[in-house]
A and B are shown apart, each in its own frame.
Chain A
Amino acid sequence: MDIVWFLVLSALIFCIGVAGVLTRRNPLVVLLCLELMLNAGNLALIAFSRMHGVLDGHVFALVVMVVAACEVVVGLGLIVAMYRRRIPIDVDELSELRG
């Protein structure tokens, strides 16, 4: 399988993620779409790593996974805090910094 197939697939997944982030209003789903974009980036990194036959891309992908996990944890914490304060879970409503 040529590397270019993996790259095009990764671009497609990334764009689906972008469409989701722009379209959806539930912050939970926005976070999920961010995951999609990060995973598409991972796929491209691993494809390039395979293309060069060097393992550096794998380490980079691992770090991306760590960053994704941190982002999820902090994002979900924010959503739980919003839910506790009975703020509507909708990114369009969240237009001011002050709670």
Chain B
Amino acid sequence: MWFEQVMFFVAALLALAGALGVVVLRNPFYSVLSLIGHLFALAILFLLLSAEFLAAAQVIVYAGAVMVLYLFVVAYVGGVEESLDIGTAGRLGPVFALALFAELCVAVIGTALSAVDSRGAELGAGFGSPGQVGELLLERFLIPFEAASFLLLVAAVGAVVLARRRRGLEQLDADEAGGDVRAGTGPAEVTP
């Protein structure tokens, strides 16, 4: 029991520190690293809620794959440190966030759901295991599952189309920069 509580507070503090790091750090590269720490802490919290499969998916897919994509793009674009001048809207942002937090806390603590103040329902064996989640995905939630896979396909194709090198664009750049054409004619260049 006490082990669970200690783990919760350690993971919660780590998650909050990671989240604050994402917002506060000026260099996007460090922001991404901070988010990776945050995701690991969240995986521990998922384990405390006995969501084993999601904890594993969080670490492998999110912290492993998606964040690597982020790091590549940050390294490609270059970690531009933004200036500290945030303007009026920027100064109002934290105020708005605090107000939202107060509102959410009122909603959560003043809720009529009495089970919120308990440790949750009694769990059957294998709650949150890959087998049970997979069974749900392939039986009750088959259509959302297929829709998600289709969405992934559309996003992948869309990203390739968005980020490819366009020939017309290159010429435009050359006109603007006076002959500064990058001569990269890789296999990605398939535009007619």
Residues on A close to B: CB < 8 A? 1-9, 11-26, 28-29, 31-33, 35-36, 39, 42-43, 46-47, 49-53, 55-56, 58-59, 61-63, 65-74, 76-81, 83-86, 89-90, 92
Instruction: Report B9-29 CB contacts with A as 1/0, cut-off 8 Å.
Output: 000100110011011000010
Chain A residues whose C-beta falls within 8 Å of the C-beta of B65 in the assembled complex: 69
Is the beta-carbon distance between B49 and A55 smaller than 8 angstroms? no
Is the beta-carbon distance between A14 and B104 smaller than 8 angstroms? yes
Bound CA–CA A67/B92 (angstroms): 29
Instruction: Report B113-128 CB contacts with A as 1/0, cut-off 8 Å.
Output: 1011111111110011
Chain A residues whose C-beta falls within 8 Å of the C-beta of B148 in the assembled complex: 62-63, 66-67
Is the beta-carbon distance between B133 and A16 smaller than 8 angstroms? no
Bound CA–CA A46/B53 (angstroms): 12
Task: Using CB atoms, name the residue of chain B closest to A18.
Answer: B97
Chain B residues whose C-beta falls within 8 Å of the C-beta of A53 in the assembled complex: 120-124, 127
29 interchain pairs (CB within 8 A)? A1-B8, A2-B119, A7-B108, A19-B23, A24-B82, A26-B28, A32-B22, A32-B70, A35-B35, A46-B51, A49-B51, A50-B49, A50-B50, A51-B118, A52-B120, A53-B122, A58-B136, A59-B137, A62-B54, A62-B133, A63-B148, A70-B155, A72-B69, A76-B73, A77-B158, A77-B159, A78-B162, A84-B169, A89-B77
Chain B residues whose C-beta falls within 8 Å of the C-beta of A35 in the assembled complex: 35
Task: Using CB atoms, name the residue of chain B closest to A36.
Answer: B19
Is the beta-carbon distance between A84 and B165 smaller than 8 angstroms? yes
Chain A residues whose C-beta falls within 8 Å of the C-beta of B104 in the assembled complex: 11, 14-15
Bound CA–CA A21/B31 (angstroms): 13
Chain B residues whose C-beta falls within 8 Å of the C-beta of A14 in the assembled complex: 100, 104
* A79–chain B nearest beta-carbon distance, Å: 6
Is the beta-carbon distance between A8 and B23 smaller than 8 angstroms? no
Is the beta-carbon distance between A22 and B156 smaller than 8 angstroms? no
